[in-house]
Copies of this chain bind each other. A is one copy, B any other.
Amino acid sequence: MHMKIGEVADAAGVNVQTLRYYERRGLLKEPPRTPSGYRKYEADAVDRIRFIRQAQDLGFTLNEIDELLELRVDDPGRCPTVEARADEKLAEVRRKIGELERMETVLSGLIASCRSRSPTNDCPILEVLEDSEHTQMEGEHIDGMD
């Protein structure tokens, strides 16, 4: 029933050291030990580690991931706090989705233009930023240069 650290690490596809590192960082709670001091994990530890890796791949830091993993309403009194934090995270997730969707559009366009063999000299991926709202000081004049 219980898993040893090496089994958990293999199942999650990470190094054993990484598990101990996450434990030190507080991302994994300290598991119970056997009488000889071996860590005994439940199977759900594997999911937790997989989530951590996935969230990292999405650009979250370990500190941010820790915050995500703390989001639960075990105590009704903490609800307002939890809700506020979840709202922030949700906004961040939606922002990332939007940015990735712009990338998706641009990459699809690039592939299409590739197939139609219409060369472009500039870097199309930068169009990703096109619809972002930087109200830039376009007209600003800089003098004294060269």
Contacts and interface: CB of A to CB of B under 8 A. Distances in A.
Interface in A57-106: 57-60, 68-69, 71-76, 79, 82-83, 86-87, 89-90, 93-94, 96-97, 99-101, 103-104
A55 B133 CA distance: 17
A13 to B, nearest CB: 10
Interface size class of A (residues with CB under 8 A): 35 or more
Interface string A102-146: 011001101101110111111111101100101010100010011
Contacts of A24: none
B125 A71 contact: yes
Contacts of A73: 110, 113-114, 117-120
A86 B71 contact: no
Nearest to A87: B111
Contact of A76 (B7, B83, B117): B117
Closest 8 CB pairs of A and B: A59-B59, A83-B114, A90-B107, A34-B146, A2-B145, A97-B100, A57-B59, A86-B111
11 contacts: A3-B145, A34-B145, A46-B136, A51-B129, A69-B123, A72-B120, A72-B125, A82-B114, A86-B111, A90-B107, A96-B96
